[in-house]
């Protein structure tokens, strides 16, 4: 009975290591990232890029009465840039989540195999 506990640790550890390799296939990052979000991020990237040039052009204009208001352009640029930053953060989190979970499973499994294997070896020597 005493030997079954360390052996169970080894088996559980091996199962976790195997699961860590399958994790990305079972739960791909694309499950949580939709085409709509991808399209929105592409659109925002273009809009932010265009607004940056408009803001800089408006700031360098000599006449304050011609063209769009620099303060309004800056506010629109800041709002779209903040939305884009939030989308990028969400994308990176979704992209990295399966890898993070996989690493945790893999290293936990390796630790269990080592601890269980060490306990099995210690019991055999005793």
Distance CA 86, CA 65 (A): 34
Which residue segment(s) compose the domain that 40 sits in?
4-125
Q: What confidence tens digit (pLDDT) does each residue in 53-112 have?
A: 888 887 777 666 666 777 888 899 999 999 999 999 999 888 888 888 899 999 999 999
Q: Tell me the pTM.
A: 0.63
Closest CA to 50 of 17, 29, 80, 12: 80
Domain count, the chain: 1
């Amino acid at each position: 009975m005493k030997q079954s506990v360390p052996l169970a640790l080894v088996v559980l550890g091996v199962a976790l290591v195997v699961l860590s390799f399958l994790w990305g296939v079972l739960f791909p990052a694309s499950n949580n990232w939709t085409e709509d979000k991808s399209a929105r991020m592409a659109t925002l990237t273009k809009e932010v890029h265009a607004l940056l040039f408009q803001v800089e052009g408006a700031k360098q204009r000599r006449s304050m009465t011609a063209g769009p208001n620099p303060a309004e352009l800056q506010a629109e640029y800041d709002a779209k840039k903040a939305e884009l930053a939030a989308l990028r953060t969400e994308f990176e989190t979704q992209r990295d989540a399966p890898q993070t979970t996989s690493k945790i499973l893999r290293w936990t499994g390796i630790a269990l195999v080592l601890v269980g294997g060490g306990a099995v070896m210690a019991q055999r020597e005793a």
